[in-house]
Amino acid sequence: MLFGSGSSLSSLVTALGSTARFVRSATKRTEHRVRRTAIARPLSTGGFLGASMTTWIATSPSMLPRTWWMWTLNFGASQIYGYAGGVLATQVVRRVSGALGLRLEIAEDHRERARWLGAAALISISAYSWVRGVLRQREISHLVQEQPKNLATHVVGTAGGLLASLGVLVSVRGVIATAHMYRALLRPYLPARVVAVLSLLLTTATVAVLAERILRGRVLEQMIERAEAANRLISPDVPRPTSPLRSGSPESSETWESLGAPGRKIVSAGPTREAIAATIGAGAAGSRAASSGTADAGTADAEAIEPIRVYAGKSSSRSLEETVQAVLAELDRTGAWDRDVLVLFTGTGTGWLQEWSLSAIEFLTGGNCATASLQYSVYPSGLSYLLDRRSPPRAGNQLFGAVRRRLDAMPEGSRPRLFVAGESLGSFGGNAAFRDIPDLLSSVDGAVWTGTPSFTPLWREIVSRSRPGAPAIAPIIDHGRHIRVVTRPRDLHRNYFAGLYETWQHPRVVYAQHPSDPVVWWRPSLLWEEPAWLRQRFGHDVTTAMRWFPWITFWQIAADMPLSIKVTGGHGHSYHEEMVPIWAAVLGQDAPETDGAAQRSRHLAIVKAIRQINPRV
């Protein structure tokens, strides 16, 4: 017994020793592979050439002037794409050459010279493309009326892009090293095919866990927490309204805190009755009379009145349907159904609305209007679209449906005229209330959609029905009888090529979009397909030097989007002064007998008043 126990113990010790030696040996091999794969291994020649070529392309212009981080994203994404493509091309060439028995060699005494010549060529081309790219940035700045960035912006962004692409390269090599480690550990115990499959699964699981912890566990959760905190923030610079015609006032059933930060800004802003009267005179145009041609804007005898602003915030204690009912309750409480004009806005991801649109409507109607909206999310538009892209269409559809049913139940002669509007993701959501163009025209008295994303179904229908030969940035549908695409105010009455439209009939719909607005033109298909608007190279505020390149253009325009709302009004995603003449046209305040000079003077006065009342817009 004792002898047998000793023999078993000795065998166990020997087995444990063998296992320990194997683990040490495997660990050393793995560590060596990690160092060689992730750090010490030289760059692929083909990958380096590919990254260099895409870097040259990355300096080409896009829509808006680049900040340092836009340069970083642009350079980093382009170099990653170029390096991966170069490595893949190298592998293909090697396999094809091997299959054909071809072999290319450089004599030993010529290799050093070839290296120096290659390095000189790469440095020269890189320097030239970089300088040319910086000069193009100055051109873009002038086109969108922005101050050109200083040289340090371009230098820092370039360095950041190089570091970003290097970081991704090291990370990819770390993933490869992880796969090698799993293979080394599994190879002694399993067949080769099983090892290959199992190591792939384990590597994928490892990467997925790390990505989940880093991206979702840290980055995404922090973004969500910041968005929710920003929505709860009650700024002392945003006073609570005292007028009972505003949601959030003491008489309102919607509490000040429940509106959310965007909602509080909306109901506390805008002109008062006194400001409207002082700007356009006591005789405010009746928009219904203007649209019928019986009275000119500014000549009716209706006194300016206090406009109505209705808003309901998102709450965890109520559903979207209940939020819509809260909006209807506020419309009932404020007497909005008795106003001449009712405008339903669909907000962006956070619930933000364009103050230029709101104030323009209120001035143009002499305050005889009500605007209504709700908050369906607290996240910025990009994050909202990624996390819950169904909410914007649901919000636009349900709010419009509920209001339309209420109006249909009213006597026809006593209904307010119904208009719909939205900007950016709000336009995408607001358009969803309508099946197609005929449904839109039969359901509303007018619409203004600004910065509409190109993936919006109704916009795609307009593009498909556009007149042959019309520019892609400004399609012409049905000779402009009801719908007009406006890139600048002069497009309201003439098409992009200054050709005449047919008589503009009611209801009127305007899609306002700047050629330099990346939110409008970005779409996933830019990765592999050149869009028509870029082939045509139209656009008064976009450089004609802009070209399409697979993958690269996608990231260039994506990098343009975050700051597009901060550029000068009339460019990018900033729709400011042009909202006054646009809303005047949609409301019908541009009758042929109107004095053009007087109308422009009136619009300028409104623009000035909006800037004075809301200096931050």
Strand partners, 450: 423, 512
Is-contact 378 315, C-beta < 8 A?
no
Q: What are the pLDDT digits (tens) for 104-154?
A: 777 766 777 777 888 788 889 989 999 999 999 999 999 999 999 999 999
Across all residues in the chain, what is the average pLDDT?
A: 86
Q: Smallest Cα–Cα separation from 443: which of 434, 453, 432, 430?
A: 434
pLDDT band with cut points at 50, 70 and 90 for residue 461: very high
Q: Percent of the chain scored above 70 by pLDDT?
A: 88
The mean pLDDT of 451-455, rounded to a whole number, is 94
- For residues 229-240, average pLDDT: 88
Q: How confident is the model at residue 18 (pLDDT cuts 50, 70, 90)?
A: low
Choice among 269-273, 292-296, 368-372, 579-583 with the minimum mean pLDDT = 292-296
Q: pLDDT tens, 383-432? A: 877 777 888 999 999 999 999 999 999 998 899 999 999 999 999 999 99
How many CA atoms lie within 13 Å of 319's alpha carbon, on the beta-carbon side?
4
Kindly report, residue by residue over 96-106, the tens digit of the pLDDT: 888 887 777 77
Helical (H) or strand (E) element with 370: strand 369-374
pLDDT(2) > 70: no
pLDDT-derived band at 286, boundaries 50, 70, 90: very low
Query: Which of 254, 384, 278, 411 has its CA nearest to residue 330?
Result: 254
DSSP letter assigned to residue 214 = I
Least Cα distance to 381 among 416, 340, 353, 410 occurs for 353
pLDDT(169) > 90: no
CA torsion angle for 450, 454, 459, 461 (degrees, to 10)?
170
| pLDDT at residue 293 greater than cutoff 60 | no
Q: What is the pLDDT of residue 4?
A: 43
Q: Annotate 348-387 with b (16+ C-beta within 10 A) or e (fewer).
A: bbbbbbbbbbbbbbbbbbbbbbbbbbbbbbbbbbbbbbee
- Mean pLDDT, residues 17-27: 53
Q: What is the pLDDT of residue 29?
A: 55
Confidence of residue 63 (pLDDT cuts 50, 70, 90): very high
Residue at 291: amino acid letter: S
Per-residue pLDDT reduced to its tens digit, 246-264: 999 999 999 999 999 999 9
- 3-state SS, 12-73, equals HHHHHHHHHHHHHHHHHHHHHHHHHHHHHCCCCHHHHHHHHHHHHHHCCCCCCCCCHHHHHH
- Give the pTM: 0.86
Instruction: Label residue 301 by pLDDT band (50, 70, 90).
Output: very low
Please determine, for residue 291, whether its predicted confidence score (pLDDT) is greater than 50: no
pLDDT tens digits, residue range 342-377? 999 999 989 999 999 999 999 999 999 999 999 998
> Which residue has better confidence, 195 or 408?
408
Specify the higher pLDDT residue, 48 or 356.
Answer: 356
pLDDT of 284 above 50: no
CB 495 within 8 A of CB 476: yes
Token pair 């619409």 is at which residue? Answer: 447
Q: Which residue has the higher pLDDT, 254 or 498?
A: 254
Asked whether the beta carbons of 61 and 134 are under 8 A apart, the reply is no
Mean pLDDT of 282-308: 52
Say if residue 433's pLDDT is above 50: yes
Q: pLDDT band at residue 5, thresholds of 50, 70 and 90?
A: very low
For the residues 273-286, what does the mean pLDDT come to? 73
Give residue 39's pLDDT: 54
The dihedral sign for the CA sequence 411, 415, 417, 418: negative
The pLDDT score that the predictor gives to residue 362 is 97
CB atoms under 10 Å from CB of 463, counted, come to 16
pLDDT at 112: 74
Q: How far apart are CA 67 and CA 59, in angstroms?
A: 13
